Amino acid sequence: MALKTAEQYEESLRKMKFKVYLMGELVKNPVDNPIIRPSMNSVKMTYALAHNPEYEDLMTARSHLTGKKINRFCNLHQSTDDLVKKVKMQRLLGQKTASCFQRCVGMDAINAVDSVTFEMDQKLGTKYHERFLKFLNMIQEQDLTVDGAMTDPKGDRSLPPGKQADPDLYTHVVKKRKDGIVVRGAKAHQTGAINSHWILVMPTVAMTKDDADYALSFVAPADAEGISYIYGRQSCDTRKLEGGEIDVGNRQFGGHEALMVFDNLFVPWENVFMCGEYEFSGLLVERFAGYHRQSYGGCKVGVGDVLIGAAALAADYNGASKASHVKDKLIEMMHLNETLYSCGIACSAQGHKTASGTYLIDLLLANVCKQNVTRLPYEIARLAEDIAGGLMVTMASEKDLRHPEIGKIVEKYFKGIESVPTENRCRVLRLVENITLGTAAVGYRTESMHGAGSPQAQRIMIGRQGNLDHKKKLAKEIAGIKD
């Protein structure tokens, strides 16, 4: 089975035994939990579209290991064309779900781990890459969803991992055995973790010799004994418990984040890809971050397409679509959105082949892409809220709209243009609210700031990759300056 169906994916999750806490309670059935299920539906879309002939070229690829057709989320990029198609695929899925579809982190993780383990083996004589390829073959054959786990809680940011008051604030090895290792710690902000089959853990920062126990990469089943999850809250998340659909804004799809806790997790050696090789930890962080910053030039743009469409519909329903300032704001939103897409395509087209054969994006342009993502979606969201109007955040509930007595009052006074039902106006305003302020904001507005690293993280990389000395040399040549 190289390609799972959406239904097979859902059934595979039902067989797993996750230990998930949500709002202080242990969740017995995450798949059907009304708060969690929309995020699972988003991942299902990555499986459904792979079987749609219209999207086959974007959603699938040929495995360089077996030659079989596989889901692109399980693919190692073998060309710049693969890198470009990745971004196009992510935009498509953003358009289809208007939320985070959660498989990008794992795709970016396998590509980063592939090239780094290959180079680690070449230099150190280790056998990590061979182990990794065995894991990769399995996830390609079974079309599994992998959760990339990088971000540690970090505790006191002024201290390195080994000097924290609590050593578990960074994920680390606590015991090495003949058959494997025992791990403690946690990974924060884990996108789609509860919708994943496996987790691929990576170090969160560049390590030194003193922090060798924290230079760690491994895989484990997402429901392994010793792993538990604390589900993250989102704005307006309890609206999903009310049984309606309008107030949620995006009833079918969503995303999720969770705190992933390792409590003496045992990992067999065959699933370990780095254990103490601190000199390669920074390279793995850099490459994963680069791939994931590329991703934001696709996924956020697809969600942006939906938000722009919703803002335009709101203008239509408000009777303001012909106003010149509204037209100009919509044009600005499209300009900003396509700027983000241009960055994602550019860093892909400028990619290059690594020693393992896997292609890496242009790291400078990938960081420029993500730096823009920390800014432009905020302006797109601001303009959408401007066009939508104040009713977006003061509107009565769906229960009021459906009420036998006051429903007629809501219907009358919340109406826009005569030809559009009040319910349609309410629906589009709730969609704008959902993307800019509600549960989808985790996958659009706020995640645009902090996902794949903070803005300062990209600025550090831009400073490193920008080659300022070369630019000085160019200026000296033109100015006729000789040292």
Q: Assign domain 283-465 to its CATH superfamily.
A: Butyryl-CoA Dehydrogenase, subunit A, domain 3 (1.20.140.10)
Output the DSSP codes for 310-351.
HHHHHHHHHT-TT-HHHHHHHHHHHHHHHHHHHHHHHHHHT-
Assess contact for 296 and 368: CB atoms under 8 A: no
Determine what percent of the chain is predicted with pLDDT higher than 70: 100
Exposure letters 373-394 (e unless 16+ CB within 10 A, then b): bbebbbebbebbbebbbebbee
- Tens-digit pLDDT profile for residues 298-348: 999 999 999 999 999 999 999 999 999 999 999 999 999 999 999 999 999
Give the single-character DSSP code of 397.
Answer: P
- Tens-digit pLDDT profile for residues 91-133: 999 999 999 999 999 999 999 999 999 999 999 999 999 999 9
Predicted local distance difference test score (pLDDT) of residue 440: 85
Is pTM beyond 0.85? Reply is: yes
Confidence of residue 289 (pLDDT cuts 50, 70, 90): very high
Predicted local distance difference test score (pLDDT) of residue 443: 85
- The catalytic residues are 100, 104, 191, 257, 292, 296, 299, 447
Confidence of residue 398 (pLDDT cuts 50, 70, 90): very high
Predicted local distance difference test score (pLDDT) of residue 441: 82
pLDDT over 80 (residue 386): yes
Give the single-character DSSP code of 476.
Answer: H
Predicted local distance difference test score (pLDDT) of residue 169: 98
In the chain, residues under CATH classification 1.20.140.10 are 283-465
Strand bridging mode 180-187 / 272-275: unpaired
In the chain, residues under CATH classification 2.40.110.10 are 8-280
Among all chains, which residue has been given the structure tokens 């004994």?
225
Q: Cα separation of 447 and 374, whole Å? A: 8
Among all chains, which residue has been given the structure tokens 């170090």?
203
DSSP H or E run through 256:
none
Confidence of residue 225 (pLDDT cuts 50, 70, 90): very high
Of 184, 180, 188, which Cα lies nearest the Cα of 213?
A: 184
Within 13 Å of residue 465, how many CA atoms lie on the same side as its CB? 18
Of 262, 234, 289, which Cα lies nearest the Cα of 439?
A: 234
Q: Which CATH number applies to 8-280: 3.40.50.261, 2.40.110.10, 3.40.50.720, 3.90.550.10?
A: 2.40.110.10
Q: Cα separation of 300 and 333, whole Å? A: 13
Q: Is the dihedral of CA 436, 437, 442, 448 positive or negative?
A: positive
Predicted local distance difference test score (pLDDT) of residue 442: 83
- Tens-digit pLDDT profile for residues 413-449: 999 999 999 999 999 999 999 999 998 888 898 889 9
Predicted local distance difference test score (pLDDT) of residue 213: 98
Predicted local distance difference test score (pLDDT) of residue 2: 85
pLDDT over 90 (residue 77): yes
Mean pLDDT of 246-252: 96
Q: What is the mean pLDDT of the chain?
A: 97
